[in-house]
Structure 1
Amino acid sequence: MWKVLLVEDESFVRRTLRQLIRWEEMGFTIAGEAGDGREALAMMKSDPPDLVIADIIMPAMDGIELLKRSREEGLESAFVMLTCMNEFEYARQALEFGASGYLLKLSMNVKSLGEALAKVDRELTRTMQIRSQADSQKFQRLYRHYWRSIYGGEAGGTEEAGELAAEESLPYASIWIASFLHGSARFTLDDFRQLGLACAGSRTVMHTYAHLGQTTVFVWNPASAEFRQTAKGEGLPWPAAFSEVVAANRAKEAWREVLRALDGSWYGGRAGSGSAFAGDRSREDEPYPEVGWKTEREWIQSFERRNIDEFRERLRDGWADMERRRLPMAIVKETAVRLDRILARIAGCAGQAEEELGASVTHSELGERLLERARQYALRWSSGVQPVTGHPEIDKALAFIHRHSHEDVTLKGIASLVAMDEAYFSGLFKKKTGVTLIHYVQQVRVGHAKKLLDETSLPVAEVGERVGFPNTNYFIKIFKRWTERTPNEYRLLEGAEGEPT
């Protein structure tokens, strides 16, 4: 909602402007009125409006002088001038000084005023976008720093701390934060603005920070009064949480509370929204609980033994424990993505794109998706059937890889096979399978090697050569990368686990 200052020495003209149009429906609100340019300039210095609608001919200080003086003072408010039929020369001067347009008093109507406001709205939005993009990289570093700090990761070394010291000198007095759990739905700043949740000024800057189906919007303001939340968020299409308008130096604390509030929707399966700062701030420095490696290792071992029933029960028990302890949604999703990659490696399959897991909007939904992926990996592992992506060229490439994995498989050769540009094919392959071509080939070869190690007594060197690794040392290195064991360790451990006790 853009703030408007009406500057006109005739009160009935100001009254006509107020009543002529539904300002809020156009995205504007009248924040003040002035009877001449001198009064208006003082008001602009005190509380800069986004738009000034000013008469050209006024006592004390006319509209042209007001426009010139405001620019000299560094005020960036947009201007629309009011003029009479015989004042076109003044209107031309106003346009030269940067006015967005002018309106004829005698013929002004709903259409002409609406068109002028629509033009100003586009200009102000564009100005805010440019300002937001100008320091976007610096802010993204700051958001990553906050994120790692909130979730107990490494906050960065001395060098990064020095770079982020700029946070304390940011030219913003306050911040408002909103997080949306939108899943697979597209979400951008344009989508946020269309929700009509906030009244921000042209001096406001906005950014987003996205993580696995959840996006946070940061609204930085040069003054505490620059921003106000205009709606409580009822009826939103996704779960959401909002902060209060707080001092800029409380940004991390505010974000932490917003994310805590959103966790409530994650576990409760609610589709509504709520305010974030109703939580208990006494827990501010309390570390978040984590999923222990011992628990993850038990899941992995069950899958390695191909005991999918045991894996299912253990995962469901672990999922229930996460809900009981209220682990943060972000940690749960990162755990699911990491576990999915490990299971795919064990099964010798291409990992699926993580976006599907990230698109989950409830804890139970993510657990069921992960179980279904594990079931698919187990089936492919036992059947030796290569995955199908639904993309003809990628499926053709996968079939070729599975038939010829023991040969020299290269990106150039596969791209030529499916008649695609190498760079384009490489990106498409990773999008459809979740891994690069070389990693996929390695996984297939390691899968075949595991089978030979399980079922034969062939020397490690010969196993490597048969599956496509003529260099033994390289085979051992790649095998350990994907299984966390050397071929000999794998054979010994698998053999020991298979013997009766």
Structure 2
Amino acid sequence: TMIETLYHYFIGNSQFDLRQNFYSFIHHILSVENSSPGYVCDCLDQLEESFALQAAKDGLEPESAYRIEFFVSKAMTACDSPDALMDALYARLMDYWKRKKEGTAPASHMASSPVDQAIAYMEQNYYLDLDLSMISDLISMNSSYFSSLFKKKTGLNLINYLQNVRIEKSKQLLLNTNQKLYEISEAVGIPNVKYFCKLFKDYTGVTPSEFRKKEHFL
């Protein structure tokens, strides 16, 4: 029943429901008494086989029949906690979904990687009081595992990346508005204007006021 529900969400457009049900499925098979790595592998093999059979019934092309590659043994060796394992397996499922949905803009967007989802969220909500814990919760990932994943892909830790986004947004406001510095600092999610000015200079080499004057002069 859980696999049938997962397939329903897999072919639909609700990434939130897919994620929630997949994590419930993995949690369930990990919590079975005396469950072993072999048992987990068998359950995921059954998931893959059921998806393929249902896809055939739905009349999908053979190459679209969802041959998932979870690499469970490798994931179990690499992950040091159940949460990290679930995150790794879910990332595999998302890679898979993305291939299936390729060419359809809404689904491709939803099927983006956890790091891409986090970046998109920060780009849109940089003015909020954000931190690693909040963002990892939003995308249902273990915070330490996600932090490592984020730095590996971007070369920056999440907070430094967020600060960079805020500074870039503040540059736009400095150039395109007459807002005062404290208004700009609040607008980009840094309510302490002194800290904002220090951060801006650390990133750009000049103060916000110097940047505004220099760019307007140019």
TM-score normalised by the chain length of structure 2: 0.48
Higher helix share: 2
The TM-score, its normalising length taken from structure 1, stands at: 0.21
Highest RCO, 1 vs 2 (Cα 8 Å, sep ≥ 6):
2
